[in-house]
């Protein structure tokens, strides 16, 4: 899960504020200290931590809350605003138009992988991408990109010996809308690499230069983004591997010094493990407000077109057995249920039974048979199915009775989840709910 520790630390801090009976100096200081601990564990620069703490304390203890807002609500809002600010404030722009993108970064940062992810991202949005294999430094680099291109059905240009020749040839031959140039890394940003990237820049004249950095750099991301910017000029940052490190918070915060914004984040090795970075949404999700928008994008990249309304319906529904089956289908298309659940308001804090999140393909088939052999009434009210009906259904569907019972169990659990989503448990009343509404982050 993305930023597991950081997220749960942050969530706890917000919960603690929500649970305060008195907001006084002592309480504010204790909670800010709590936040500091979370930030430091995530390798946030100590100076930045103390600046943020100061800002929060100043605002909450000195300023007056706006009209109609209690001090506690103001505290929560301040925490939220400051965290969003801290992690980048506004999202970067990613224009959907013809363009050339040059990817830069050190060895193993995730450049080539991100090339494929970006190609897919644009492709899903109706633009034709092309990949250019300008990494001649490592033997397998071009093969890796070609394989990615093949899987994504995106052309890969690699004709030529030297990076600049490959780039020139690609510029001549390609007709795609978005050309993504992979480049070679080094262990450090040395003269050699700087020269190569500068040369490539001159030939490609990219509209975007994306610096790719792994999240486990933590606060070192600051230095690296400054260096790359100075030498080659960057227009955006991609932070990869947020799925596998406790230091992601530090890395994201560190990029704030650079003028270039974090535009995408990588959350796994597969082409779909990729998101547009929006600090507001990111913080909302970390603290468990849910992320309808993110869910929509996920649906889009799986090729399912859904409106916001439909997505909400998908999450609500009257929830019959048929809805359940439909949801399972939809969710499977969206990728691992685990990730989808991450984006559902309130669901991330839910204790789910083991195995609930990875329903296997063959199980799905059996369930289909079972659901098919239910009567209309049973589908509408699966709760009424008793032991003797389980027996009959299992015969009708050609499955074991235990399998029917298992399906019923899953259905019940899913229904609980859906109820929670619908009700926005914990968000119905109180300051968190009001804030959620205010920020348009309510549970729908």
Question: 437: helix, coil or strand?
Answer: helix
Q: Is the dihedral of CA 235, 124, 115, 161 positive or negative?
A: negative
Q: Which is nearest to 109 in space by CA: 44, 42, 184? A: 184
CA distance 141 to 145: 6
Report if residue 113 touches ligand GDP, rule: CB under 6 A: yes
* Closest residue by beta carbon to ligand GDP: 266
Q: Which CB sits closer to Mg ion, 40 or 194?
A: 194
Residue 83 beta carbon to ligand GDP: minimum distance, rounded to whole angstroms: 22
Q: What are the two backbone dihedrals, phi and then psi, of residue 133, each rounded to the nearest 5 degrees?
A: -90, 80
Q: Is the dihedral of CA 21, 26, 27, 30 positive or negative?
A: negative
Report if residue 235 touches ligand GDP, rule: CB under 6 A: no
Q: Of these partners, ligand GDP, Mg ion, none, which one is at the site of residue 381 (CB under 5 to 8 Å by kind)?
A: none
Report if residue 240 touches ligand GDP, rule: CB under 6 A: yes
CB atoms within 10 A of CB 150: 11
Applying the rule CB under 5 A, the residues between 108 and 147 that interact with Mg ion are 111-112, 141
Q: Of these partners, ligand GDP, Mg ion, none, which one is at the site of residue 266 (CB under 5 to 8 Å by kind)?
A: ligand GDP
Report if residue 336 touches ligand GDP, rule: CB under 6 A: no
CB within 8 A of 363, min separation 6: which ones? none
Report if residue 109 touches ligand GDP, rule: CB under 6 A: yes
Question: 205: helix, coil or strand?
Answer: coil
CA distance 258 to 237: 9
Residue 211 beta carbon to ligand GDP: minimum distance, rounded to whole angstroms: 11
Report if residue 108 touches ligand GDP, rule: CB under 6 A: yes
Q: Which stretch binds Mg ion (CB under 5 A): 6-14, 44-52, 104-112, 119-127?
A: 104-112
Q: Which CB sits closer to Mg ion, 112 or 267?
A: 112
Applying the rule CB under 6 A, the residues between 137 and 196 that interact with ligand GDP are 185
Buried b (16+ CB within 10 A) or exposed e, 403-414: bbebbbebbeeb
What is 132-200 written as a DSSP string?
A: EE---SSTTHHHHHHHHHHHHT--EE--SSSHHHHHHHHHHH---SEEEEE----SS--HHHHHHHHHH
Q: Are 154 and 146 in contact (CB under 8 A)?
A: no
Q: Which is nearest to 119 in space by CA: 75, 168, 156? A: 156
Residue 428 beta carbon to ligand GDP: minimum distance, rounded to whole angstroms: 36
Q: Which CB sits closer to ligand GDP, 201 or 248?
A: 248
Q: Are 79 and 10 in contact (CB under 8 A)?
A: no
Report if residue 241 touches ligand GDP, rule: CB under 6 A: yes
Q: Of these partners, Mg ion, ligand GDP, none, which one is at the site of residue 229 (CB under 5 to 8 Å by kind)?
A: none
Residue 162 beta carbon to ligand GDP: minimum distance, rounded to whole angstroms: 18
Q: Which stretch binds ligand GDP (CB under 6 A): 60-68, 106-114, 367-375, 428-436?
A: 106-114
Residue 261 beta carbon to ligand GDP: minimum distance, rounded to whole angstroms: 18
Question: 420: helix, coil or strand?
Answer: helix
Contacts of 46-53 with C-beta under 8 Å, sequence gap 24+, read 48/86, 48/253, 48/254, 52/82, 52/86
Report if residue 112 touches ligand GDP, rule: CB under 6 A: yes
Q: Of these partners, Mg ion, ligand GDP, none, which one is at the site of residue 421 (CB under 5 to 8 Å by kind)?
A: none
Report if residue 107 touches ligand GDP, rule: CB under 6 A: yes
CA distance 229 to 210: 10
Applying the rule CB under 6 A, the residues between 195 and 214 that interact with ligand GDP are 212
Interface residue with ligand GDP among 110, 163, 271, 426 (CB under 6 A) is: 110
* Contact track, ligand GDP, 242-281, x by CB under 6 A: -xx---------------------xxxx---x--------
Report if residue 396 touches ligand GDP, rule: CB under 6 A: no
- For binding to ligand GDP (CB under 6 A), which residues are involved? 105, 107-113, 185, 212, 240-241, 243-244, 266-269, 273
């Amino acid at each position: 899960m993305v930023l597991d520790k950081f997220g749960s630390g942050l969530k706890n801090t917000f919960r603690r504020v929500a649970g305060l009976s008195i907001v006084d100096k002592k309480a504010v200081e204790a909670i800010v200290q709590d936040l500091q601990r979370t930030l430091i564990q995530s390798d946030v620069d100590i100076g930045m931590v103390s600046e943020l703490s100061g800002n929060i304390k100043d605002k909450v203890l000195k300023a007056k809350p706006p009209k109609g807002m209690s001090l506690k609500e103001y505290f929560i809002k301040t925490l939220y605003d400051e965290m969003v600010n801290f992690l980048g404030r506004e999202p970067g722009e990613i224009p959907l138009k013809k363009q050339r993108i040059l990817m830069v970064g050190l060895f193993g940062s995730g450049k080539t992988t991100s090339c494929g992810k970006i190609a897919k991202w644009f492709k899903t949005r109706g633009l034709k991408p092309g990949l250019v294999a300008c990494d001649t430094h490592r033997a397998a680099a071009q093969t890796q990109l070609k394989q990615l291109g093949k899987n994504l059905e995106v052309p890969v240009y690699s004709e030529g010996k030297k990076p600049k020749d490959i780039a020139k040839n690609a510029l001549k031959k390609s007709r795609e809308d978005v050309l993504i140039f992979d480049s070679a890394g080094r262990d450090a940003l040395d003269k050699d690499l700087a020269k190569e990237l500068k040369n490539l820049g001159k030939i490609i004249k990219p509209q975007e230069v994306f610096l790719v950095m792994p999240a486990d750099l933590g606060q070192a991301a600051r230095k690296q983004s400054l260096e790359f910017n100075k030498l080659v000029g960057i227009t955006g940052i991609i932070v990869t591997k947020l799925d596998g490190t406790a230091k992601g918070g530090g890395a994201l915060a560190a990029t704030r010094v650079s003028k270039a914004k974090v535009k995408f984040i990588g959350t796994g090795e597969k082409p779909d493990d990729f998101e547009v970075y929006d600090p507001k949404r990111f913080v909302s999700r970390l603290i468990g407000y849910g992320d309808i928008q993110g869910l929509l994008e996920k649906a889009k990249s799986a090729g399912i077109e859904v409106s916001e309304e439909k997505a909400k319906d998908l999450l609500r529904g009257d929830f019959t057995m048929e809805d359940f089956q439909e949801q399972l289908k939809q969710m499977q298309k969206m990728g691992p249920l685990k990730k989808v659940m991450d984006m559902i308001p309130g669901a991330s804090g839910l204790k789910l039974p083991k195995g609930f999140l990875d329903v296997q393909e063959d199980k799905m088939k059996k369930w289909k048979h079972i659901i098919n052999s239910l009567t209309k009434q049973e589908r509408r009210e699966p709760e009424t199915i008793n032991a003797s009906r389980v027996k009959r259904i299992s015969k009708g569907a050609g499955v074991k009775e235990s399998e029917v019972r298992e399906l019923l169990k899953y259905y019940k659990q899913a229904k609980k989840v859906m109820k929670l989503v619908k009700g926005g448990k914990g968000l119905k009343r109180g300051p968190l709910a009001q804030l959620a509404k205010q920020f348009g982050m309510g549970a729908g």
